[in-house]
Structure 1
Amino acid sequence: MVRLLHTADWHLGRTLEGRDRLPEHEAFIDELVTIARDEDVDAVLIAGDIYDSVNPPAASEALFYESLARLSEGGKRPIVIISGNHDHPDRLAAAQKLAEAQEITIVGTPSLTPVRIPIRAKDTVLNVAPLAYPSESRLNECLSDQGEEELILEAYDERVRRMFQQMSASFSEKEVNVAMSHLFVAGGKATESERPIEVGGTYTVRATSMPENVQYVALGHLHRPQEVKHAPTPTRYSGSPLAFSFSEAGYSKSVTIVDVEPGKPAETKDIPLSSGFPLVRWKATDGLPQIHQWMDEGRDKQAWIDIELHTDHSPSMEDIHQLRKAYPGIVTIRPVFPEDETREKVVSSRDVPIDELFRQFYSRQTGGSKPEDELVDLFLDIVNETETEEGD
């Protein structure tokens, strides 16, 4: 049995409303190295978005290279890395020649070349089909020539499916075979911390387009850990190690351990992470006194906090300064006035079908595009499943 560690979406260099997250990322790397050792991991898969921008801070680059050295342990533990939509593919892969000596493979741009890695301790081979973020420009294709939006979607989906097929064509059932990519698979649950244009539209791929002749597909891009339904083989987003927007409040973070033997489906388990500060929301319906009470109680002392402050009057600059001085983790304070609450109740009472609300949301997020009926059906399936689970 080969044991893999699947992680993605580190977003080194990302801030939260100007707050530095580097100490949290450093703590995550410490935790990740410990997990790799304690779980006796044979190889590591990092599925894109190492950095938060194409020009990351020097401290973030230094942390990345340090993390690779520690994770690989001098080449004892191979690592395969692909670029994500936030990474500069050439910059990320620039260190490939040096990394090879440490059994580290970095794939910056999409190609048809699989990676073959001997796992000497288990006397087998790990084959990886590593599809780096397949944007239209990185695929070097002009999909817009297809004309109609539906044809563009079909062309992109078909291209990704064929690339997986070609990369995995030489895989042997007597070896361990996996695929990895950084993309949005239809049906995945997104958060506000991913770029909306990439959650739908041209860059959506069907779950059924994932390769069939591998035992596991490691995905990056969505920040919630989740399985992909309807894929022909176990397929999973590992999620991000830190919460990057308050839409992720209440969601636990983890990395994925994958156990796989030649010719058998992979088995997975989540390892929870504790290194990042949680993002929490306070809804102070009783105004400033309620916030002061929570602070006196020491509520969420080690967290990033978004406050919804219900009040008749705007808080003074002095009030805000005192709150943030006492609680440095307070990120935003959003006053809600009585007229805002009344307006919200009127809007929420409109009798609009949920599928129409989804179509309106999709159109706003994608600049006017209309969702395919298949995508709407997937959304309704998720809603129905959620309602069924809540009713159980």
Structure 2
Amino acid sequence: MRILHTADWHLGQTLNGWSREHEHRTFFNDLNGVIQNEAVDVLLVAGDVFDGINPSGDTQQLLYSTLARFLKSRPGLQIILIAGNHDPAQRLEAPEAVLRELGVHVVGTLQRDGNGVDMDRHLIPMRDAQGVVKAHLLAVPFLRQADLPGLTLSAENGAEPAIVAAARRLHADMTNAAAARAGGLPIVAMGHLTCNGALESEGAERRIMIGGEHAVPPDIFPEKLAYVALGHLHRPQSLDGGRVRYSGSPFPLSATEIPYDHGVTLLDLNEGLVPCHIPLQRPIEVLRFPTTGAAPLQAVEAALSALNLDPEVPRDARPFVYITLTADRPASSLMAEAEALIERTPVRLAGLSIARTELAAPTAPPPTLAETSPEDLFLTAFRQAHALDADPRHIAAFRDAFSEV
């Protein structure tokens, strides 16, 4: 039996106002190819299916049409999704009664019965191509404070923070209940959280806080779990020798993620559920000029020109660019020139910033009004605002304005 671990699709995301739908459709084409070529039996989506709690009708239609396409191209495929911190959990699982009949399981919230967590819902048998149960999936959606009973008391004066102790106990209880039902078959868990020791991505992932903690150690997942498929962190990475893994996002969702080797993770039950990273070609180039630090506008213009981009490429297929400029002239004129450059170049602006030179702190107290003049004050203020000296045009404009006072 083969399992494909994915996460953090973030359907509906925009970048500086630009839709990512073209990239998502390309990713789904590639993902469909992996499902068929690798004879995948189970597709896991470890949370953050959507980018926000109010996805548009078009975004929801993209999700459900994609699931239908996967099921049609790979009959018998099981698809299991959990909610992440970005997802509208109850909306995500609302059509689950219908989807389950098609082999799609959606777990948006932690549900309990009289005996604790409802294991009929959270423990899902995983079947091979012949329909034989070969393993079980323990589905744990993004946990909120209300999902951790006794949180405030669980580790009072204990060796670890209360949130960690409560999360540890919850996963231990669920794993023990799963083992009692699994009949000795392997148990795979799926969750959405941050583990200590994992590398985060600045600018895309929210630090989700419960009880003052935003991360838990990977050993909260009991050794009885053969593999833990996680979402939330966008860099593909493994912990605990590969037993705990983030598959990562499908393509860069922020500037930090440009160097990442995006893809999906394949697991083969016959090979001991050892994770195998399958890289996917980036749907759209996401570039940063310069690659580090800042550069003058002329250098950025030369770098963009060297790309030799086709001006006829449709807008939704044009590269994204992040630009950081050296503040060699006033910010307002520099921004205007940069925006004009982008307008005549077949790219889409993902972010534009200006790196100002830090001024040295004054070594003497500022002069009194009797010791200075309005023009000197203007020159000082201009330098503080723009990290450069006013040129003759600015001085002339100030003198014109001052003469009218």
Q: What's the counterpart of residue 392 of structure 2?
A: none
Q: Distance in 1 between matches of 2:131 and 2:57?
A: 37
Counterpart contact for 1:8–1:240, Cα < 8 Å? yes
Counterpart contact for 1:234–1:265, Cα < 8 Å? no
User: Are 2:164 and 1:150 aligned?
Assistant: no
Q: What's the counterpart of residue 304 of structure 1?
A: 320
Counterpart contact for 1:7–1:239, Cα < 8 Å? yes
Offset of residue 31 of structure 1: 1.1
Q: Distance in 2 between matches of 1:209 and 1:235?
A: 11
Q: Distance in 1 between matches of 2:195 and 2:175?
A: 14
User: Are 2:127 and 1:118 aligned?
Assistant: yes
Counterpart contact for 2:327–2:355, Cα < 8 Å? yes
Name which of 331, 356, 364 aligns with 1:337. Answer: 356
Counterpart contact for 2:9–2:250, Cα < 8 Å? yes
Q: What's the counterpart of residue 249 of structure 2?
A: 240
Q: Distance in 2 between matches of 1:299 and 1:291?
A: 14
- Across the aligned residues of Structure 1 and Structure 2, the Cα RMSD in angstroms comes to 2.6
Offset of residue 47 of structure 1: 0.8
**Residue deviations 1:149-188, cap 9 Å, x none?**
9234322333233323323332233x34311111112211
Per the alignment, do residues 185 and 200 of structure 1 end up closer, same or farther by CA in structure 2, a change over 3 Å counting?
A: farther
Offset of residue 36 of structure 1: 0.4
Name which of 181, 195, 199 aligns with 1:189. Answer: 199
2:206 is matched by which residue type in structure 1?
R
User: Are 2:296 and 1:287 aligned?
Assistant: yes
**Residue deviations 1:211-265, cap 9 Å, x none?**
32232211111111110136xx71211101121111112112100111113xx73
Q: What's the counterpart of residue 377 of structure 1?
A: none
1:184 is matched by which residue type in structure 2?
T
- Kindly report which structure 2 residues correspond to 1:220-239, keeping only aligned pairs within 5 A, or say none: 220-229=231-240, 234-239=243-248
Q: What's the counterpart of residue 18 of structure 2?
A: 19
Q: What's the counterpart of residue 95 of structure 2?
A: 95
Offset of residue 324 of structure 1: 1.5
Q: What's the counterpart of residue 375 of structure 2?
A: none
Q: Distance in 2 between matches of 1:216 and 1:152?
A: 23
Q: What's the counterpart of residue 341 of structure 2?
A: 323
Which stretch shifts more, 200-209 or 241-250? 200-209
Q: Structure 2: which 5+ residue stretches go unaligned?
A: 112-116, 311-317, 362-405
Counterpart contact for 1:128–1:178, Cα < 8 Å? yes
Which stretch shifts more, 271-280 or 14-23? 271-280
- Kindly report which structure 2 residues correspond to 1:72-91, keeping only aligned pairs within 5 A, or say none: 72-73=71-72, 75-91=75-91
Q: Structure 1: which 5+ residue stretches go unaligned?
A: 344-392
Per the alignment, do residues 105 and 166 of structure 1 end up closer, same or farther by CA in structure 2, a change over 3 Å counting?
A: same
Q: Distance in 2 between matches of 1:318 and 1:194?
A: 31
- Kindly report which structure 2 residues correspond to 1:55-74, keeping only aligned pairs within 5 A, or say none: 55-73=54-72
Counterpart contact for 2:163–2:211, Cα < 8 Å? no
Q: Distance in 2 between matches of 1:126 and 1:300?
A: 49
Q: Distance in 2 between matches of 1:121 and 1:79?
A: 16
Identity of aligned residues (%): 30
Offset of residue 32 of structure 1: 0.8
**Residue deviations 1:115-154, cap 9 Å, x none?**
11332437443311111112213x1636245667923432
Name which of 140, 163, 182 aligns with 2:174. Answer: 163
Q: Distance in 1 between matches of 2:323 and 2:33?
A: 35
Offset of residue 40 of structure 1: 1.0
User: Are 2:289 and 1:271 aligned?
Assistant: no
Which stretch shifts more, 267-276 or 164-173? 164-173
Offset of residue 331 of structure 1: 2.1
**Residue deviations 1:247-305, cap 9 Å, x none?**
112112100111113xx731221111224334332127551211121122117885321
Q: What's the counterpart of residue 189 of structure 2?
A: 179
Per the alignment, do residues 322 and 116 of structure 1 end up closer, same or farther by CA in structure 2, a change over 3 Å counting?
A: same
What secondary structure, in the 3-state scheme, does the structure 2 residue paired with 1:81 have? Answer: strand
Q: Distance in 2 between matches of 1:199 and 1:276?
A: 35
User: Are 2:257 and 1:214 aligned?
Assistant: no
1:240 is matched by which residue type in structure 2?
S
The TM-score normalised by the length of structure 2 is 0.75
Q: Distance in 1 between matches of 2:172 and 2:285?
A: 37
What secondary structure, in the 3-state scheme, does the structure 1 residue paired with 2:92 have? Answer: helix
What count of residue pairs does the alignment treat as equivalent? 335
Q: What's the counterpart of residue 352 of structure 1?
A: none
Q: Distance in 1 between matches of 2:186 and 2:69?
A: 24
Per the alignment, do residues 151 and 338 of structure 1 end up closer, same or farther by CA in structure 2, a change over 3 Å counting?
A: closer
Q: What's the counterpart of residue 205 of structure 1?
A: 216
Q: Distance in 2 between matches of 1:186 and 1:275?
A: 28
Q: Distance in 2 between matches of 1:316 and 1:241?
A: 34
